Amino acid sequence: MHPMLNIAVRAARSAGRILLRYLEHTDGIAVTDKRRNDFVSEVDHSAEEVIIRELHSKYPDHAILAEESGERQGSDFQWVIDPLDGTTNYLHGFPQFSVSIALKYRNRLEQAVVYDPLREELFTASRGQGAQLNDRRLRVTDRPSLESALIGTGFPFRNHSLLDTYLGMFKVVLQNTAGIRRPGSAALDIAYVAAGRLDGFWELGLAQWDIAAGALLVSEAGGTVSDLAGGDRHLETGNVIAGNLKVHQAMVAKLRPFLSDSLRA
């Protein structure tokens, strides 16, 4: 395992232990609203602190982009961190949440970890070395079309101005596939595409830390990740489509009629 991936795994496991420790006592967790339907808890902060501490113990000069503490610059290396992806699920005891850590070098994704502490599932990838789940090699599905495909998604809960557009997309995807799932942790959903549990995934209005680790997992598992127009600006726009090549192409085609100028940008 690459040494930078190894330290990311250690950090993710440390954060996971914090999430599990608090899980039986969610009623007593202090929670604040960042914006409508977007919450942050003391668990998010505690998990993020331990991740940053672990990473900086080995790489003190590396930059950080983290959901709760913002951005610290100063290096070609940047860690992109979501300490608890699926906070709403977590606070309700809904068992679908994850820790997501990615490393970029000069703005290119190099290392990725998505960790599900409840199931002890560790998704990892290093650029050019493939993707693994608990040391088992991952490949996206070989589904040749949207027909019979199972697609993951997430509702645009941060920006309700996208809701009508999203519902149109939802309808057309539902009508052309075997079904849609919305578990509530985008990082884990995208990791499931890499693992072949989902044939594809799309969502609008995500943050970079929701997407980064999963994007490398999918590409290293033989899949494709893009923005809604099929370009490479998904980390910038927060609008993402992932899947194997044929499912990805079919989803881009199906969703194209719904793209406004802002969603194409």
Rounded Cα distance, 190 and 242, in Å? 7
Rounded Cα distance, 19 and 25, in Å? 10
Which tens digit of pLDDT belongs to each residue from 207-237?
999 999 999 999 999 999 999 999 999 999 9
| Spatial CB neighbours of 5, under 8 Å, sequence gap ≥ 6 | 103, 111, 112, 113, 124, 126
Which tens digit of pLDDT belongs to each residue from 121-135?
999 999 999 999 998
Q: Which domains does the chain have, with CATH numbers?
A: 3-137 (3.30.540.10), 150-264 (3.40.190.80)
| DSSP state string for 224-241 | EEE-TTSSS-HHHH--EE
State yes or no: pLDDT of 168 exceeds 80: yes
Rounded Cα distance, 165 and 160, in Å? 10
Distance between start and end Cα atoms, the chain? 37
Looking at residue 38, its pLDDT comes to 44
Query: What is this structure's pTM?
Result: 0.94
Rounded Cα distance, 116 and 232, in Å? 27
**Contact (CB, 8 A) for 141 and 33:** no
72 — phi, psi (to 5°)? Answer: -120, 120
What is the edge-to-edge ordering of all strands in the sheet holding 108-116?
Answer: 70-72, 63-66, 77-85, 98-105, 108-116, 121-126, 131-133, 136-137
